[in-house]
Amino acid sequence: MKREKSEALFAKAQTYFPGGVNSPVRAFRSVGGTPLFIAKGKGAHIWDADGNEFIDYCASWGPLILGHANQKVIDAIKQTVENGSSFGAPTALENELAELILSNNKYVEKIRFVSSGTEAVMSAIRLARGFTKRNKIVKFEGCYHGHSDSLLVKAGSGLVTFGNTSSAGVPESVVNDTIVVSLNNEEAVKQAFIEFKNQIACIIIEPIPANNGLLLQRKEYLKFLRDICTENKTLLIFDEVVSGFRVGFTGAAGYYDIQPDIITYGKIIGGGLPVGMYGASAEIMSNISPEGNVYQAGTLSGNPVAMAAGIAQLTECLKPNFYIDLEKKTQFLISNFKFQILNFKVFSIGSIFWIAFTDKKNIRSAEEINPDSMKHFRILHKELLERGIYLGPSGYEVGFVSEAHTEADLIKTAKMFGEAMEEVMK
Ligand SMILES: *Cc1c(COP(=O)(O)O)cnc(C)c1O
């Protein structure tokens, strides 16, 4: 495979950006080799700067549920931008996207649009603290919530620990209010509520943790979190930046039928443009400024072009059988990954899948992932790339099937998978 153009572009990029990239995982450090510079995408396919073609399962890390360059999304963007790209004043398009979401999602009553998942989560945490007048938050090891300070923490040792900063530049004083516990562990959560009685503003969880493998939780565990939050007047935040509009239009809240207090969305909601959102009951949302005293604002929030892209994409998602068909495709793909080796599994939910080298039947917490197993993924990733299949460049990342993947794409993927796995097993 020719890589000259990507290599030249990456060399240049390294003179401009730290590590040559504007978001770290793109640098391919965990799989090795040069990141491909992408020139074009259409449907389920992407082409790199050297003209190599790939079937894509990264989907820009999830947003592109209709595939690349969907015609309806393109038309909506073009039509809208002809009339200007931003006003810093309200537009009808914000109402339209809000109406589309709220009339099809009973889990939120009022919302606020922002421009990224990070911003949505950061604002949701502020809202929870403002509403409860408490400072401490509980998060889970293995859940990613964007890069805001109080969430860039890793667990210390012990059942219930204050987080340790996982990034330079995040003061201990900030993470001292973040309590990190293991997923799928009721005892740890109970312990946190005993140790920090009446101090915990919120529990935040990815109800379908998909940023550190796919750590599918038991419904009973999510219900347990719901109940313990209610008992303690603590808010439950579902970070649905990945799962929202992915496992169904109403995300994980709808999938498990659990009512969280605040929900955050991102990724799919913007049709490939930068949009995030947080929402809650009208009562909780009334704390947001200018109605309430929790401040949150954005120059480009509710950007009309991004709203139009979101409306076009979500309108497609609402068509009958959209999610059923996506799940069928995903199951078809996975059922064709047939390898009689003991330590290989594909975990999935809806159109999300995760390739894991493990002999465990389930993996529900970060500690259950064997870091050493990633050496197999590195080979798999490289061999698949050589064969025209593009996965996110890390074994901790999940893959996404889109509406644009055809049966031929899935069959080809399964075939290449078989070949690549032969190499892994050598
Ligand atoms: C991607 C992601 C975020 C951060 O969103 P950005 O748009 O990258 O800021 C937050 N939470 C979850 C669950 C995510 O997957």
Ligand 1 centre distance from Cα of residue 62 (Å) = 10
pLDDT bracket for residue 342 (50, 70, 90):
low
3-state secondary structure of 235: strand
Ligand 1 centre distance from Cα of residue 146 (Å) = 5
306 and 329 together in one domain: no
Ligand 1 centre distance from Cα of residue 108 (Å) = 19
Pocket residue to mutate for ligand 1, from 204, 243, 267, most atoms within 8 A of Cβ: 267
47 and 117 together in one domain: no
Ligand 1: nearest atom to the Cα of 206? 13
Tell me, what's the pLDDT at 165? 81
Q: Which of 257, 290, 317 is the last residue of a domain?
A: 317
Tell me, what's the pLDDT at 62? 98
196 and 259 together in one domain: yes
394 and 326 together in one domain: yes
Give yes or no for residue 239 CB within 6 A of ligand 1: yes
Query: pLDDT of 385-418, one tens digit each?
Result: 999 999 999 999 999 999 999 999 999 999 999 9
237 and 162 together in one domain: yes
Phi, psi at residue 86, to the nearest 5°? -170, 145
Q: Could you report how far apart the first and last alpha carbons of the chain are, in Å?
A: 22
310 and 395 together in one domain: no
Total structural domains in the chain? 2
Query: pLDDT of 316-337, one tens digit each?
Result: 999 999 999 999 999 999 999 8
Give yes or no for residue 327 CB within 6 A of ligand 1: no
pLDDT bracket for residue 157 (50, 70, 90):
low
59 and 156 together in one domain: no
Query: pLDDT of 59-88, one tens digit each?
Result: 999 999 999 999 999 999 999 999 999 999
Ligand 1 centre distance from Cα of residue 120 (Å) = 9
184 and 279 together in one domain: yes
Q: Which of 285, 300, 317 is the last residue of a domain?
A: 317
Active-site residues, by number, are 144, 239, 267
Residue nearest ligand 1's atom 13 by CA? 241
121 and 220 together in one domain: yes
183 and 130 together in one domain: yes
Give yes or no for residue 146 CB within 6 A of ligand 1: yes
CATH assignment of the domain containing 308: 3.40.640.10
Least-confidence region, from 88-97, 123-132, 158-167, 169-178:
158-167
Residue 372 belongs to domain spanning: 4-69+321-425
339 pLDDT above the threshold of 90: no
Q: Which of 317, 339, 359 is the last residue of a domain?
A: 317
Burial class of residue 277, CB neighbours in 10 A (0-12, 13-18, 19+): buried
Query: pLDDT of 19-53, one tens digit each?
Result: 999 999 999 998 999 999 999 999 999 999 999 99
- Alpha-carbon distance values, 187 to 8, 221, 234, 262 (Å): 52, 11, 17, 24
Indicate the DSSP class of residue 28.
Answer: -
311 and 404 together in one domain: no
61 and 93 together in one domain: no
**pTM of the full structure:** 0.97
pLDDT bracket for residue 338 (50, 70, 90):
confident
Query: pLDDT of 203-226, one tens digit each?
Result: 999 999 999 999 999 999 999 999
Give yes or no for residue 251 CB within 6 A of ligand 1: no
